[in-house]
């Protein structure tokens, strides 16, 4: 198993995107004399994760976007971000975040729905989100004119460090957080893009 562990580590290290267990299983079994089971691959991944949890390593094996990727540990985020200047590259505008929240909670969704909720034209924002590969086309609606539908991508999950849309905060969580921060009567009159997206 030591050799297969090294192979899996090398694949994860070299891969640009999170590597899924099923992908490893399919690839490794092409040349294996005895096919590996999913449980065996998951067991090897657990061993790798334990190995890099040691304080000797500044990175760890993280589960993100439905797969596994070597990630810098939290203690080193500031210095790495400063060196790579990633904060400015990855920053999203308020408009982009609002539109992205609407798409994430209501997908697949049309541009008209996004514009109705936000109250402004969304052409430019949608274009920028597609350029960043955070959203993609999801077909056409059955509504008159058959407008395009949009949905979030795998890159969206990777960008926000979640494995699935089920991990998105629920409306109740936003309400509880707001109640801890401000006065209740003021909060009740405030609708964020996420609130509206979930209500419609």
Distance between CA 139 and CA 108 in Å, rounded?
Answer: 9
Distance between CA 174 and CA 95 in Å, rounded?
Answer: 19
pLDDT at 32: 87
- How long is the chain? 200
Contact 171, 187 (CB under 8 A): no
pLDDT at 160: 83
33 alpha-carbon distance from chain centroid: 36
pLDDT at 182: 46
pLDDT at 171: 63
pLDDT at 190: 39
- CA angle at 155 for the pair 24 and 40, rounded to the nearest 5°: 20
- CA angle at 169 for the pair 164 and 171, rounded to the nearest 5°: 135
Contact 63, 17 (CB under 8 A): no
Contact 55, 42 (CB under 8 A): no
The domains located in the chain, with CATH, are 2-83 (1.10.10.10), 92-199 (1.10.10.10)
Sequential pLDDT tens for the chain (200 residues): 789 999 999 999 999 889 999 999 999 999 888 899 999 999 999 999 999 999 999 999 999 888 999 999 989 988 887 787 655 446 788 889 999 999 999 999 999 999 999 999 999 999 999 988 899 999 999 999 899 999 999 889 888 888 888 888 876 655 555 555 444 434 333 344 555 454 55
């Amino acid at each position: 198993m030591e050799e297969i562990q090294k192979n899996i580590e090398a694949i994860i290290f070299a891969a640009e995107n999170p590597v899924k267990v099923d992908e490893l299983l399919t690839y490794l079994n092409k040349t294996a004399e005895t096919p590996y089971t999913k449980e065996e691959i998951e067991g090897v991944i657990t061993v790798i994760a334990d190995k890099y949890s040691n304080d000797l390593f500044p990175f760890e094996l993280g589960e993100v976007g439905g797969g596994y990727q070597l990630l810098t540990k939290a203690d080193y985020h500031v210095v790495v971000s400063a060196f790579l200047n990633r904060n400015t590259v990855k920053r999203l505008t308020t408009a982009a975040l609002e539109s992205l929240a609407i798409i994430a909670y209501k997908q697949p969704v049309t541009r008209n729905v996004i514009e109705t909720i936000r109250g402004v034209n969304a052409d430019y924002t949608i274009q920028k989100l597609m350029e960043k590969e955070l959203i993609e086309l999801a077909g056409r609606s059955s509504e008159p004119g058959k407008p395009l539908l949009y949905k979030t991508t795998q890159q969206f999950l990777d960008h926000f460090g979640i494995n699935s849309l089920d991990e998105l905060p629920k409306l109740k969580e936003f309400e509880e957080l707001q109640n801890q921060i401000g006065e209740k009567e003021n909060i009740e009159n405030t609708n964020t893009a996420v609130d509206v997206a979930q209500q419609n």
